[in-house]
């Protein structure tokens, strides 16, 4: 019995160690399914998207996988010289996604860069918000990881999140951070936004570097 306990401890410690090496050479990727109500007067109209959170050391990139695929496909078709109407037909099969990207601790620690075409701000930089988390006693399992509940307020909205200390990186979707583990689920008190992790792993082909697209700069 003892050897099985020792083996379990070894596997758990190896898993934590492997994720702790993210800052060296490995890129940690967490994919979230997002459900959101875009208009409060239409609570039954829920949009869905998939966001990727890529983490390397103390830097991260958060963006819609659908929006990036749509943009990259459109750029490729334009380079091939495809006719506009033919291009439109091809792109209709790809969800547009939300045109928002967040790069934490960039261009320096404590700052973030945000691209937001929907708000017509295009590109701006700001200081990362400090969230006063209240860790709760409740726990649950997400993607096989033991998660603990925490409550905090961000921009006058109360959020409930679930984080796992099995992955000791202080990160999460959007602007969430500051907990002793990766946030795998987050939703606000009004149930307007809900992020749930659906995929977790490493992908060294990804990057946390901000996009090179030319956009207007706001500070």
Of residues 90 and 209, more confidence is placed in 209
Its pTM stands at 0.81
pLDDT per residue as tens digits for the range 20-41: 444 444 799 999 999 998 777 7
Lowest mean pLDDT of 18-32, 53-67, 113-127, name the range. 18-32
Per-residue pLDDT band for 53 (boundaries 50, 70, 90) equals very high
pLDDT the model gives residue 118? 63
Mean pLDDT of the chain, nearest integer: 82
Task: Compare 104 and 85 and report the one with higher pLDDT.
Answer: 104
Res 203 pLDDT > 90: no
DSSP states of the chain: -HHHHHHHHHHHHHHHHHHHGGGTT--EEEEEEEEEES-TT-TT-EEEEEEEEEEETTEEEEEEHHHHHHHHHHHHHHHTT--HHHHHHHHTTS-----EEEEET-SSTTEEEEEETTTT-EEEEEEPPP---EEEEEEEEETTEEEEEEEEEETTEEEEEEEETTS-----STT---SSSEEEEEEETTSSEEEEEEEEEE-TT---SPP-----EE-
Which domains does the chain possess? Answer: 24-218 (2.50.20)
């Amino acid at each position: 019995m003892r050897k099985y306990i020792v083996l379990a401890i070894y596997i758990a410690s190896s898993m934590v160690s492997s994720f702790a090496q993210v800052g060296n050479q490995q890129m940690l990727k967490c994919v979230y399914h997002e459900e959101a109500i875009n208009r409060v007067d239409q609570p039954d109209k829920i949009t869905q998207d998939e966001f990727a959170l890529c983490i390397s050391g103390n830097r991260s990139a958060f963006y819609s996988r659908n929006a990036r695929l749509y943009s990259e496909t459109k750029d490729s078709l334009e380079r091939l010289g495809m006719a506009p109407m033919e291009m439109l037909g091809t792109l209709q099969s790809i969800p547009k996604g939300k045109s928002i990207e967040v790069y934490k601790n960039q261009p320096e620690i404590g700052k973030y860069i945000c691209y937001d075409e929907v708000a017509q701000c295009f590109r701006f930089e700001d200081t990362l918000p400090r969230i006063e988390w209240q860790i709760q006693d409740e726990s649950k399992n997400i993607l096989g990881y033991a998660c603990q509940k925490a409550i905090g307020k961000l921009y006058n909205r109360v959020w409930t999140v679930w984080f796992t200390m099995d992955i000791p990186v202080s990160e999460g979707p959007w602007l969430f951070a500051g907990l002793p583990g990766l946030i795998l689920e987050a939703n606000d008190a009004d149930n307007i936004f809900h992020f749930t992790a659906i995929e977790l792993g490493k992908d060294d082909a990804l990057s946390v570097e901000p996009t090179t697209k030319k956009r207007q700069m706001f500070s």
